[in-house]
Amino acid sequence: MPRKKAYKYSTKPIEVGDWVLPTNVQVGKFEPAYQVEDKTEDGKFVVVQTEGCYQHRMEVDVKKLKRL
């Protein structure tokens, strides 16, 4: 019997404002989700994770994101 996944990923295209999980990035596996903030000219997405007043931003390729 296959193991159940913690998150159910969406197959819809990623847009600004969506919640995503980065994969193949130097981010821990059990980190909270990131929100898409902007799309750059070269097709990458700027994602942000807010914890209190601290914001962690990074620019990630669309192939390394999974939409929640």
Task: Tell me what pLDDT residue 35 has.
Answer: 96
Assess if residue 23 is contained within a domain. yes
For 67, other C-beta atoms within 10 Å of its C-beta total: 18
34 assigned to some structural domain: yes
In a domain, 51, yes or no: yes
> How many structural domains is the chain composed of?
1
Cβ atoms of 47 and 20 closer than 8 Å: yes
Contact 56, 28 (CB under 8 A): no
Residue 41 structural domain: 19-58
Whole-number pLDDT of residue 11? 83
Residue 43 φ/ψ, nearest 5 degrees: 90, 5
Tell me whether residue 5 is in a domain.
Answer: no
What is the mean pLDDT of the segment spanning 14-37? 86
Residue scoring higher pLDDT (7 or 60): 60
User: Is 30 inside a domain boundary?
Assistant: yes
Q: Which of 2-11, 30-39, 43-52 has the lowest mean pLDDT?
A: 2-11
- From 1, 17, 18, select the one nearest 9 (Cα to Cα): 18
Instruction: Let me know if residue 11 belongs to a domain.
Output: no
Residue 52 dihedral angles phi and psi, to the nearest 5°: 70, -125
12 is a domain residue: no
Kindly state whether residue 27 falls inside one of the protein's structural domains: yes
High-pLDDT (> 90) share of the chain, %: 54
